[in-house]
Structure formats: structure tokens, C-alpha cells
Amino acid sequence: MPGPGRWRAERDDIALRFRPLTERDLADAPGWLGEIDLRADRWRDESTRSVVAQGEDGAILAAGIVWTSHAHDDRYWADVVVDPARRRARIGTAMFRHLSGLRARDLPFMTRGYVDDPRLAFAFALGARTIQVVPPARIELVRRTALRPLPGIAPGTEVPMSAIEDANASFYQWIHASWSPVSPEFVAAVNAGLKDDLDLASTAVAVDGQGRPRAVALVYGDTDPPVVCAETVRPDEPDGERLVEGCLRAALDALAERGLAEVEFDGHVTDPHLLPNWAKLAPSGRWFLLVEVPPAR
Ligand SMILES: CC(C)(COP(=O)(O)OP(=O)(O)OC[C@H]1O[C@@H](n2cnc3c(N)ncnc32)[C@H](O)[C@@H]1OP(=O)(O)O)[C@@H](O)C(=O)NCCC(=O)NCCS
């Protein structure tokens, strides 16, 4: 395992010195460090690490960061940035090797990006495999008539917030179960700030005879354009595809009535009741991948 100290990038024989990233580095940082989100080393705990790599003259040539998510504990997220003037000299690879040695637990890494993004080319060069695919996500609201309305859909304003939170946690858990299982404390993480972030008037909920949510289309109004997440509350919901269709149509109608022109979907190709409805809306944009990267040994 590479420890602190010198490390030689494989190409051009660049001597690198690794040290923890500090608040001072963030304040004095060259602009290119801002290409990724960075925080000072150990900002939360031993699972949140960040470092810089300096060249022989002391100049920062790269930074790297690893962290675990609150909602999942199966992989570390990782990100690396290299001085644009020094790219393709294996400095990024050397940084990744160093980050592999900073993991407090022997978990693989994950990262994400658009299919044609250099960040994914870099991840695949490190041995990545795809664990999830996100289709093009931009939806024009004029397309919404491809989905059929359904009676019995309530706006989020008519459903108790606690029921919306329970529905959110429930569907989040099952849609991730097969490829990125949730952590024991995921409920607090996925519901944090939900009340403030949701546009409850546009959010749509399919309820049963007792008023319990069976499917939801949650509209996050804190972004431009708004983001829509939709699925059934339980994986085995009968008529799940039709319920999600009705929720989506109601949510998109509500947004269109307010004069909006487009939204973005947030979901995965493995979301069984969402994907067929998503496909009917003729989405545009770029395909997006989540990938697992094996640590350097
Ligand atoms: C992605 C990044 C960190 C790569 O750093 P780097 O030091 O240039 O990477 P390396 O030299 O170690 O590249 C190793 C391999 O990754 C692949 N790769 C790296 N950059 C690539 C690019 N722009 N296009 C295609 N493949 C690329 C290549 O296979 C490369 O090997 P090769 O040069 O022999 O073809 C750098 O481009 C960067 O800082 N980008 C902006 C921030 C970012 O997107 N970070 C995401 C990291 S997950």
C-alpha cells in the first residue's frame, strides 16, 4: 500500500509528495482544484479523507478525495483532479493508488459520469465496471400526454408529510437493494430536508382505500428545472407501472399548469415501474453511468 511520502507517477518519472488537504489549500487553491468538490482531510471522520500531491517544487499537481455516503456503506466515493497542464502523465493513476491506501475499510470505490466524459474513461482505465445506468433525463412537459391520467391521485399537499417520508424511504430502499444496498441509518439521510426540498403541490401520490401511498412522483422544486423521482412504495405493487404512470401524469400536469416547460428525471434503468413510463416521454440528454472501481492493491 502506498503511504504518505514520495510516489513516482509511472510516466515521465514525476516525483510526487502526498499530504493531507487542508482548509488553507482550499482557500489558496489554484482554480482547477474547483473542478471537483473538495473538503479538508477527515472533515467528518476516518472515512472522509482528502490529499494533495505536490511536485518537487512544492506546487500542487493533483488532489484526491474519498468518502462514504450516509445512505449506503458498501463503497467509497472517490474523486481525483489533476493540474490541466499535467494530465495524461499518470498523476491521476498515482493519486488513485494513494487513495486506495487511505481506506479505513476494505471496500471498493465508486464514481459516476456521463458516458462520453473523460472522468469515466479514467475510471475504466483503472478497472471500473458499470453498476448502474441512468437514461437521458430531460423531459419536455409537452410530451406528458403520452402518459394516461388515473383517478385517485392526490397532490402531496393532501398527504401527511410522515406518509410521504415513509414512502420515500421505502422505495429508496428497494430500488437500491440489488446494486447498492442501504446502510442501517439510511432513513434519516434520505429524508433529511425532504419537506423543504419537495414541491408538494406538484408531487403526486397514488393512495389506497385507507389513504396509504402505493406510488409516488416526488417533485423536487429546489432545482432548475425541477427533478422528478417516481416509483411504487413496495416492489411487488400490483399495477405498479400504471400507478406510476398516473402519478407522473398528475405531477407533470401540475408543473405544466404553472408554466414550466421541462423537468429532469432521477432514476435508474432497473426501476421497473418508472423506466417504461420514462421511455414513453422521449427524454433527451446524455446517458450516465455509475461504476465500481477496484482499489489498487
Ligand atoms: C480524470 C483525470 C483525474 C485524469 O487524470 P490524469 O492524470 O490525466 O490520468 P492518467 O494520466 O493517470 O490516465 C490514466 C488513463 O486514464 C484514461 N484517461 C485519462 N484521461 C483521459 C481522457 N481525457 N480521455 C480519455 N482517456 C483518459 C487513459 O486510459 C489514461 O491512460 P493513457 O494516458 O495511457 O491513455 C483528469 O483528467 C482530471 O483532473 N479531470 C478533471 C476532474 C475529473 O473529472 N475528475 C474525475 C475523476 S473520477
Q: 20: Cβ–Cβ under 8 A, 6 or more apart, which residues? A: 40, 41, 42, 49, 50, 51, 52
Residue nearest to atom 46 of ligand 1 (CA): 119
What's the CA-to-centroid distance between 167 and ligand 1, angstroms?
Answer: 40
To which residue does cell 400536469 refer? 253
pTM of the model: 0.92
Q: Cα torsion at 132, 88, 286, 240 (round to 10°)?
A: 10
- Give the pocket of ligand 1 (CB within 6 Å): 35-36, 79-82, 87-93, 111, 118-119, 121-123, 125
The architecture that CATH gives domain 5-107 is 3-Layer(aba) Sandwich (3.40)
Residue nearest to atom 4 of ligand 1 (CA): 92
**CATH entry, 138-289, from 3.40.50.300, 1.10.238.10, 3.40.630.30, 3.10.20.740:** 3.40.630.30
3-state class (DSSP) for residue 265: strand
Residue nearest to atom 44 of ligand 1 (CA): 119
Contact call for residues 269 and 115 (beta carbons, < 8 A): no
Residue nearest to atom 12 of ligand 1 (CA): 90
What's the CA-to-centroid distance between 26 and ligand 1, angstroms?
Answer: 22
Q: What is the pLDDT of residue 8?
A: 52
Q: What is the pLDDT of residue 208?
A: 94
What's the CA-to-centroid distance between 25 and ligand 1, angstroms?
Answer: 22
Q: What is the pLDDT of residue 119?
A: 95
Q: What is the pLDDT of residue 3?
A: 37
Q: 269: Cβ–Cβ under 8 A, 6 or more apart, which residues? A: 132, 133, 134, 135, 275
Q: What is the pLDDT of residue 98?
A: 97
Q: What is the pLDDT of residue 222?
A: 86
Asked whether the domain spanning 138-289 has the same topology as the one spanning 5-107, the reply is yes
What's the CA-to-centroid distance between 119 and ligand 1, angstroms?
Answer: 6
Strand boundaries in the chain, DSSP class E: 5-8, 15-20, 49-54, 60-67, 76-82, 109-114, 129-134, 138-140, 153-155, 204-207, 213-220, 227-232, 262-265, 288-293
Q: What is the pLDDT of residue 14?
A: 75
Determine how many CB atoms are found less than 10 A away from the CB of residue 131: 18
Q: What is the pLDDT of residue 225?
A: 97
What's the CA-to-centroid distance between 2 and ligand 1, angstroms?
Answer: 20
Please give the Cα distance from 59 to 72 (Å, whole number): 36
Q: What is the pLDDT of residue 73?
A: 87
pLDDT in tens, the chain (297 residues): 333 344 455 555 678 999 999 999 999 888 999 999 999 999 999 999 999 999 999 999 999 999 999 999 899 999 999 999 999 999 999 999 999 999 999 999 999 999 999 999 999 999 999 999 999 999 999 999 999 999 999 999 999 999 999 999 999 999 999 999 999 999 999 999 999 999 999 999 999 999 899 999 999 998 999 999 999 999 999 999 999 999 999 999 999 999 999 999 999 999 999 999 999 999 999 999 999 999 998
Residue 215's alpha-carbon distances to 27, 119, 154, 208, in angstroms, are 46, 35, 11, 10
What's the CA-to-centroid distance between 126 and ligand 1, angstroms?
Answer: 10
List the domain boundaries for the chain: 5-107, 138-289
